[in-house]
Amino acid sequence: MKPLIEKLTLSENTSFVARTYRTPNFEVPWHQHNEYELILILEGEGTAFVGDYIGDFGPGDIFFLAPNLPHTFQKSGDVITSAVVIQFPGDFWGSDLINLPEGAYVKNLLQAATRGLKISGNHREKMACIIRDLENQQRFARIISLFQCLNMMAESADYITLSSQAPDTTYRLKQEGIDLILQYTNSNFRNKISLREVSAVVNMSIPAFCKYFRRSTKKTYIDYLNEIRIGYACKLLKDTNKSVIEICFESGFNTLANFNKQFLKYKSIPPSAFRKMTKHPSIQFTVDYDYRILSEQ
């Protein structure tokens, strides 16, 4: 399955789209489109896939994506999920405005967005308020608000770059079948998944599947699967009082030793320390390579 090519739908009185999508309309497959996209997550949580990036999303997160960058946001379980989504073509302001000397820093922002950006820093809350209001604004006020958001992102540069590379002209071919793999993995990661099972989803041999997946995502399928499992384990560590060993098996790992090893690989701390840091963020921990907390400062 190729990434869905989404078409921008405009009313006769608007030059760009700004609307809220809520479950079930929030859920979209692996897709891409010819417009820039600014996304504010309002409720729900899950896993964001942007190019070859995989990471968590939750309420208050803001993403900025350039045209033709494949992406999807897969919610965790049966939670209600919603977001304000702003889509605008790169030339809707004309050919001259962005090329003025004053627009150079915005051009740099648009170039950075070709790899996908996640907004951080002090401007995020202010941007969120503007994005929420923008959906109901009329006439030129909509343009001003959008430019305010672009200006804040460009001036502060408080963002995290997501994908390791920008999309190229052959990206669609590389991504054939990825949506099927994502859906299968998200539905089954808590159980044992063999390479034989997942390669059968896209009717490939195991060697062909492994080569295809690594070429498309720049990581092995096992690395991807472990990232999904560790992300789910982090949620359980933060939101429940289940023991580490319960969370280990519930997240799809077969042994506690491997769970600890993979958790340290992806989070740089053991699960017990992660839980204490999320529940007591003022406490700093020093950890040795035996996965023990040496001291609390």
Beta-carbon contacts of residue 85 (< 8 Å; ≥ 6 apart): 17, 18, 19, 20, 21, 37, 38, 39
3-state secondary structure 67-110: CCCCEEEEECCCCCCEEEEEEECCCCCCCCHHHCHHHHHHHHHH
Domain ranges of the chain: 4-161, 177-296
pLDDT band at 263 (very low <50, low <70, confident <90, very high): very high
Phi and psi torsions of 32, nearest 5°: -150, 165
The whole-number pLDDT of residue 53 equals 80
Tens digits of residue pLDDT in 41-92: 999 888 888 877 878 888 999 999 998 888 888 887 778 899 999 998 877 7
Mean pLDDT of 14-39: 83
Domain 4-161: give its CATH code.
2.60.120.280
How far is residue 253's CA from residue 226's CA, in Å, rounded to a whole number?
A: 9
Class of domain 177-296: mainly alpha
Helix 271-279 with 256-267: angle, nearest 10 deg:
60
The whole-number pLDDT of residue 61 equals 93
pLDDT band at 262 (very low <50, low <70, confident <90, very high): very high
The whole-chain average pLDDT of the chain stands at 80
pLDDT top residue among 247 and 286: 247
Q: Annotate the chain with DSSP letters as a single string.
A: -PPEEEPP---TT-SSEEEEEETTTT---SEEESSEEEEEEEE--EEEEETTEEEEE-TT-EEEE-TT--EEEEESTT---EEEEEEE-TTTT-SSGGGSGGGHHHHHHHHHGGG-EEE-STHHHHHHHHHHHHTT--THHHHHHHHHHHHHHHHH--EEE-SSS---TTHHHHTTTHHHHHHHHHHHTTS---HHHHHHHTT--HHHHHHHHHHHHSS-HHHHHHHHHHHHHHHHHHH----HHHHHHHTT-S-HHHHHHHHHHHHSS-HHHHHHHHH-TT--EEE-TTS-EEEE-
The whole-number pLDDT of residue 295 equals 31
Whether the CB-CB separation of 156 and 168 falls below 8 Å is answered with: no
pLDDT band at 249 (very low <50, low <70, confident <90, very high): very high
Tens digits of residue pLDDT in 220-247: 999 889 988 988 898 889 888 899 999 9
**What do you get for the CA distance between the two ends of the chain, in Å?**
52
The whole-number pLDDT of residue 255 equals 94
The whole-number pLDDT of residue 3 equals 42
